[in-house]
């Protein structure tokens, strides 16, 4: 009888853990929780062609004297290496710009 109770407890515990694991869903990381990574020197010259999108902050080259204007923009790059290879990029956040509130 004791062995049957032990096996029943083990079975119920396993079922509970399994059910909890199935209920867990993958949620995208909110943009305010994504870490901003600054590009460092030296800039990469060669990058792999894997797709792991980042949203990079890039200098537009626009400078306004009389009125405020955006001197930077957010642009999607295929991965962090490709983003930092662009000399105009200051830094990036993981994920697509469409998921970002920074856009």
Length of the chain: 103
The pLDDT > 70 percentage for the chain reads 65
Asked if residue 83 is part of any domain, the answer here is: yes
Domain count, the chain: 1
**82 has a pLDDT exceeding 90:** yes
Asked if residue 93 is part of any domain, the answer here is: yes
Asked if residue 81 is part of any domain, the answer here is: yes
Tell me, yes or no, if the pTM score tops 0.75: no
Task: Report, in angstroms and rounded to the nearest whole number, the Rg of the chain calculated over CA atoms.
Answer: 24
User: Rounded distance, CA 99 to CA 7, Å?
Assistant: 47
Asked if residue 7 is part of any domain, the answer here is: no
Comparing 98 with 103, the larger pLDDT belongs to 98
Q: Which domain holds residue 84?
A: 29-99
pLDDT band at 2 (very low <50, low <70, confident <90, very high): low
Asked if residue 38 is part of any domain, the answer here is: yes
Asked if residue 9 is part of any domain, the answer here is: no
The mean predicted confidence, pLDDT, of the chain is 80
Task: Report the pLDDT value the prediction gives residue 102, as an integer from 0 to 100.
Answer: 45
Span 56-72, average pLDDT = 90
| Distances, alpha carbon 30 to alpha carbons 53, 65, 73, 97, in Å | 15, 35, 20, 12
Asked if residue 75 is part of any domain, the answer here is: yes
**44 has a pLDDT exceeding 60:** yes
Asked if residue 47 is part of any domain, the answer here is: yes
Task: Report the pLDDT value the prediction gives residue 83, as an integer from 0 to 100.
Answer: 98
């Amino acid at each position: 009888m004791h062995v049957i109770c032990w096996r029943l407890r083990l079975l119920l515990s396993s079922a509970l853990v399994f059910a909890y694991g199935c209920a867990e869903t993958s949620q995208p990381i909110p943009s305010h929780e994504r870490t901003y990574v600054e590009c460092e020197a030296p800039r990469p010259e060669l990058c792999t062609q894997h797709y792991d999108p980042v949203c990079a902050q890039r200098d537009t080259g626009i400078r306004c004297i009389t009125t405020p204007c955006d001197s930077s923009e957010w642009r999607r790059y295929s991965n962090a290496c490709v983003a930092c290879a662009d000399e105009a990029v200051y830094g990036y956040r993981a994920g697509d710009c469409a998921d970002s509130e920074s856009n």
